[in-house]
Amino acid sequence: MFSTLNNCTLTGNGAFEGGGAAFSTLNNCILYYNSAANFGENYAECTFNHSCTTPAPESGVGNITNAPLFVDTNDWSNLRLQSNSPCINAGNNAYVTTSTDLDGLPRIAGGTVDIGAYEFQSPASTISYAWLQQSGLPTDGSADDVDTDHDGHNNWQEWLAGTNPTNALSALRLASPVITPTNVTLTWTSVTNRTYTLEQATNLGGAPAFSVLRSNLVGLPGTTSWTDTNAPVSSGRFYQLRVSP
């Protein structure tokens, strides 16, 4: 109760309310197979981010309800992740506070932290397994560099951008700019839970060509816009867009 937990696994517990946790914030955590006599089988009045629990939390981001697929739930003897667990690569590195997992092994394997107390040490893919499974894509790494919907972005890029890898209309793109005598308004396809950085260049032969124009632009549902009020319309200018989860 009244705790903040990072990369924890809470399983097989019971309480009157909130069988696993109550009035807490949980990041990169698994809360599954708990029980409550009154309400809140797994949790009560909690906030989740990039965690695995059921029912789906009403607040927070990046959460999944898929069963975590522990190695052995008989007497909870092995709560490490199976090789096809949706919790693999499904956490958020920003919440990592230790360099090792509960086994003393590296906390991040495959580039992105797993959900739960144990890190699967040899992931085949660098993409969130939950995201791949939701999109009907294999988790063996064979789909990572494939452009499934032929929109110019491979599946790793689509995962990073939060776009749909099976819909060619869902891709990170800058629309045609709206130009006035003093301003240039830039609009791009966007999603929530992502931040964007706009970069500019006047000469693509420079080294580096692009410099940051505006960073930490929070994504909105559908599209996001930003107006460059210092764009000289009498000279050429190039823009590019970067995304961070």
Domains of the chain, CATH where assigned: 178-244 (2.60.40)
Q: For strands 195-201 and 238-244, give the pairing.
A: antiparallel
Say if residue 235's pLDDT is above 80.
Answer: no
Q: Whole-model pTM? A: 0.89
At 108-146, the pLDDT tens digits run: 999 999 999 999 999 999 999 999 999 999 999 999 999
At 43-74, the pLDDT tens digits run: 999 999 999 999 999 989 999 999 999 999 99
At 167-225, the pLDDT tens digits run: 999 999 999 999 888 889 999 999 988 999 999 998 888 788 899 999 999 999 999 99
Question: What pLDDT was estimated at residue 188?
Answer: 96
42: left (phi over 0), alpha (psi -120 to 50) or beta: alpha
Q: Residue 136: CA atoms inside 13 Å, Cβ hemisphere, count?
A: 6
